[in-house]
Structure 1
Amino acid sequence: MSSETSPQSPRLRKPRVAVVFGGRSSEHGISVVTAGAVMRAMDRNTYDVLPIGITRDGRWALTVDDPERMAIADRAVPDVDQLAESPEGTVALSVDPSNREVVYQEPGSVPKALGDVDVVFPVLHGPYGEDGTLQGLLELSGIPYVGSGVLASAVGQDKEYMKRVFISFGLPVGPYLVVRPREWERDEPGARQRIADFAGEHGWPLFIKPARAGSSMGITKVDSFAGLDEAIAEARRHDPKFLVESLLRGREIECGVLEFEDGPRASLPAEIPPVQSHDFYDFEAKYIDSADGIVPAPLDGEQTAEIQRLAVAAFEAAGCEGLVRADFFLTEDGRFVINEINTMPGFTPISMYPRMWEASGVSYPELVDRLVRAALDRSTGLR
């Protein structure tokens, strides 16, 4: 072992970044793609990288450090099981805040210490990762991590409570309806009547969305009652709680927020133009067919300043840290309406968040480095 990585010479040791990815959500594959891009961008002369994948059934696995194998190939997303060093080996973090050691074990063998971790870069998307659950584990472990804390992560994952927070801070949101699991199970006819009343008030089409999913997973655009049952079933396949939203006619505009030493700043915005081969900006349009956003968005100076103000306001309203991508509609009457925030937006090479910051003067490697360094400087605990 060289002096550079020896435990006896901590001052010379490079900061060790555990990139944690995969997970139990429907966004597993995109998380792997994001992790590959992040790992590729990290300066290995500055950081020691430890890739940890979480399989679809929740096993923490030591994976190969090979970003090239973590990309989309032949329209298929990668999987942690394809990258694991062992089909049964497990990785564990200590929940003792004074001990940041990572331990690896295979069945029938003695546990092997992999050394300390200085910071975690969690690039999981969706439930069991982006929703505050992993953040809570890292708080218990006393390990700094990139991104928002427990509460902001949970708010950013749940579209209902995200909208409630936005409304309480005076941010404009579109018309929506929430159907919770207990209501659907106990009074499905009543829930259906509420949806019918909502459609009567706001008109068709409607969007049926899982409340706690991302990457447009489980979202269906429905034009009449005929497609409603299938859309609800698809949403509930991802989450038993779902939202019904009316169509907002206008342009889709996104804006990135990044935390600097003097506070959060907004990037130049981007526009997501209509995708001719898709009904809306769904999963395949985003990641498989690589729908190309316009960066920067063709907005005038006043519009750009307004969406940047609103994006930072959303970041602050939810108590976010590190980074956020804020998604808006610019309606036909010239208003910005916030759709949602993503506390761990996609970091793939074609993702809008890094592209917006690239246009704003922050390169992909600089972006990753800034996020890691900010996490290293931030202590865990109540925020």
Structure 2
Amino acid sequence: MPDRPTTPQRVAVIGGGVNDEHDVSLASAAAVTRAVRALGAEAVPLTIDRDGSWRTTDGAPLTPSDVVALLTSCDVAFAALHGVNGEDGAVAGFLSMIGLPLAGSPVRAGALGIDKWVTKTLAEAIGIPTTPAVLVPAGAAVGPAPFVPPFVVKPTTAGSSNGVSVVRSPDGYPTAIDHARAAGGDTLVEAFVTGREVDVAVFRHHDGTLRTGAALEIGVADGELFDRAQKYDGTARFTVPAVLDDEELDALVRAAHTLYDTLGCSGVARFDFFLTTDGIVLNEVNTSPGFTEQSQVPRMFAAVGLPYVELVEALIAATPSLGAGSGR
């Protein structure tokens, strides 16, 4: 196998989606499209509109048969989709059924990773600590607050901090549940964790090894959340690489690698942790993280010598063929 596999000649780049991360996904897809073209390959950008219909990025509507014909004319797909109806395995399943390799996680990893309650349960089963939490199913009666404030209320499947609240007094609990349910179905109520927020990104290289970006620390004031506004208005404070001792970094990387393999990820995934006085605590998993040039994951790999265009090239080159288990 050559050290640097040939980039496929025709790459479908899918953005948009039927969820509240639609605009974020469009930005990720536009950046990936630029990178594919910089590599000398032909990009075929496609958009899933908010109503679920597909179109070309210049606005031409596509019938389902048009979509399949376009996709199957490509060598590989890069789905820059975030959230439900995309990152959750839906598009991975569709692409698998029509025989198009995906530079990203398969159905199982997407379905497990999108659900914060499921990933929390799985992580605990393999010995990775998570935040104490209670699940409040959609439609269930809202009883007394399960934790002493402050605590966090969030949808189990929403991303970009949509629907997330910090409850600071018991009477704020019902409103926080309503806010979370407006962004998703089931709701997660979590104890508030005090610690540093540190993320680790991983992908499996074409030679089978796991490659890890520099750890990234998010600068958040004590008692506050890394909210949607900070994520996208340019005010977020990132330290890359995060200042960690060898023991802290080793614990974070080992946990991220274990989760990557346990979930069955392909492509790049980001694992978000709290680093507390008692050790690491998993916050959540992103199997299709934000992917513009300024997003966290590209910054993390740039810090270890893999700039954006080369990162996209590496992810495409590492795409497993359908016969090698991409649908696992």
Provide the TM-score with structure 1 as the length reference: 0.79
1:209 corresponding residue in structure 2: 154
1:227-306 equivalent positions in 2, closer than 5 A: 227-260=172-205, 261-274=207-220, 279-306=224-251
Q: Deviations over 1:166-212 (max 9, x none)?
A: 11111111101101125x1xxx1xx413xx2x21xxx2111110111
Cα drift, residue 323 of structure 1 = 1.2
1:367 corresponding residue in structure 2: 311
2:125 corresponding residue in structure 1: 168
What CA RMSD, in Å, does the superposition of the two structures yield over aligned residues? 2.2
Q: Is the partner of 1:46 in helix, strand or coil?
A: coil
Structure 1, unmatched stretches of 5+, are 1-11, 65-83, 104-114
Structure 2: which amino acid aligns with 1:166? Answer: A
Q: Number of residues paired by the alignment?
A: 321
Structure 2, unmatched stretches of 5+, are 1-5
Residue 267 of structure 2 corresponds to residue 322 of structure 1: yes
Q: Is the partner of 1:296 in helix, strand or coil?
A: coil
Q: Distance in 2 between matches of 1:45 and 1:93?
A: 29
Cα drift, residue 267 of structure 1 = 2.0
- The answer to whether the 8 Å contact 1:14/1:46 transfers is no
Q: Distance in 1 between matches of 2:63 and 2:209?
A: 35
Residue 282 of structure 2 corresponds to residue 357 of structure 1: no
1:59-208 equivalent positions in 2, closer than 5 A: 59-64=53-58, 84=59, 86=60, 89-92=61-64, 101-102=69-70, 116-182=73-139, 184=140, 188=141, 191-193=142-144, 196=145, 198-199=146-147, 203-208=148-153
Q: Deviations over 1:297-321 (max 9, x none)?
A: 0111221122111111111121111
Residue 13 of structure 2 corresponds to residue 19 of structure 1: yes
Structure 2: which amino acid aligns with 1:192? Answer: G
Cα drift, residue 41 of structure 1 = 1.8
Cα drift, residue 94 of structure 1 = 7.5
Structure 1: which amino acid aligns with 2:83? Answer: G
Structure 1: which amino acid aligns with 2:77? Answer: V
- The answer to whether the 8 Å contact 1:256/1:325 transfers is yes
Cα drift, residue 263 of structure 1 = 2.7
Q: 1:220 aligns with which of 146, 159, 165?
A: 165
Q: Is the partner of 1:53 in helix, strand or coil?
A: strand
Residue 310 of structure 2 corresponds to residue 342 of structure 1: no
1:53 corresponding residue in structure 2: 47
Q: Distance in 2 between matches of 1:329 and 1:381?
A: 31
Q: Which has the higher contact order (CA 8 A, sep 6+)?
A: 2
Structure 2: which amino acid aligns with 1:144? Answer: P
Cα 1:344/1:149, change in 2 over 3 Å: same
Q: Distance in 2 between matches of 1:14 and 1:315?
A: 25
Larger Cα-atom Rg: 1
Q: Is the partner of 1:127 in helix, strand or coil?
A: coil
Q: 2:27 aligns with which of 27, 33, 52?
A: 33
Q: Deviations over 1:314-359 (max 9, x none)?
A: 111211112110000001x240111111001111222111111111
Give the % identical residues. Answer: 37
Q: Deviations over 1:249-289 (max 9, x none)?
A: 1100001111112332322201001159x931011101123
Cα 1:44/1:357, change in 2 over 3 Å: closer
Q: Distance in 1 between matches of 2:28 and 2:227?
A: 18
- The answer to whether the 8 Å contact 1:34/1:347 transfers is yes
- The answer to whether the 8 Å contact 2:320/2:326 transfers is no
Provide the TM-score with structure 2 as the length reference: 0.92
- The answer to whether the 8 Å contact 2:149/2:169 transfers is yes
Q: Distance in 2 between matches of 1:160 and 1:382?
A: 23
Cα 1:382/1:24, change in 2 over 3 Å: closer
Q: Deviations over 1:132-164 (max 9, x none)?
A: 111111111111011111011000101111111
Q: Is the partner of 1:375 in helix, strand or coil?
A: coil
